[in-house]
Structure 1
Amino acid sequence: MIEEPMHGHPAVALAAAVGRPDAHAGEVPAVYVQLRPGATATPAELQDWAQAHIVERAAWPKEVKILPTLPTTPVGKIFKPALTDMEIESVVQDEARSAGISLRSCSVLRDPQRGIVVRWAADQDDGALAQRLGRFTFQTERV
């Protein structure tokens, strides 16, 4: 629904759609792309392409990110958990920035019992970031 239309763009070699955590909707679509050798495209151009070629409005990616290479498994398949982790880390960084907090560290872990856990540290925080992150479905730990 998302990846196939993105592959139709002449500059796109690979595309992978993942969920981006969203405080209101739970998650929204995001897409990562790897460009063909020598090709150029901007995230805005790819966003416009997505909106013109993806029929369902709810499937329009809210974020388009270009990577030099998409992470792959040893057999060459796109490794989406790594992309999901990147999106989660991006959301945490965005929330920290919005709260005026500078993160010292942020890492995404996959715990067999708890699911996705974000460990983060900040030089200053009065609980504002923890409160903001509590709106998302992933677990958090301040370290």
Structure 2
Amino acid sequence: PSSREIGVKIKLNAVKEVVRGKRLIMVDDSIVRGTTSGLIVNVLKEAGAKEVHVRISSPPVMHSCYFGIDTSTRKELIGAQREIEEIRQHIGADSLGYLSLDGLVQATGFSKERFCSGCFSGAYPLEVPREGKRYVFEKR
């Protein structure tokens, strides 16, 4: 197991008496690599959850962020490499749903022009280098 996987297992413990036999919905902000979500689903199922349904409050992350958020290269982004059903299977969830980009924008009450959606759509507000220079716009 990677250090990230070990860290997740240390941080997250399911209370078996609470989880056992229940149908659960796990909500997260995003799935980047699929590692954390898969581990959480596994922890919940090992604790006896009958079903684990996952809902993500953003669209699939399909492109790297060049503005300081630590995201992977496209080849490491599960949303860029797999269809939603494949991601669901990979993380072991009983169902998987994402918020659409329009739904995300609508939930904020602001116009689409006020947001960078580069990691979801590939449309960045500035010209960006491709792969390998994620932090090119960070202030040093």
Bin the TM-score by the shorter chain: under 0.3
Q: TM-score, normalised by structure 1?
A: 0.23
Bigger share in helix: 2
Q: TM-score, normalised by structure 2?
A: 0.23
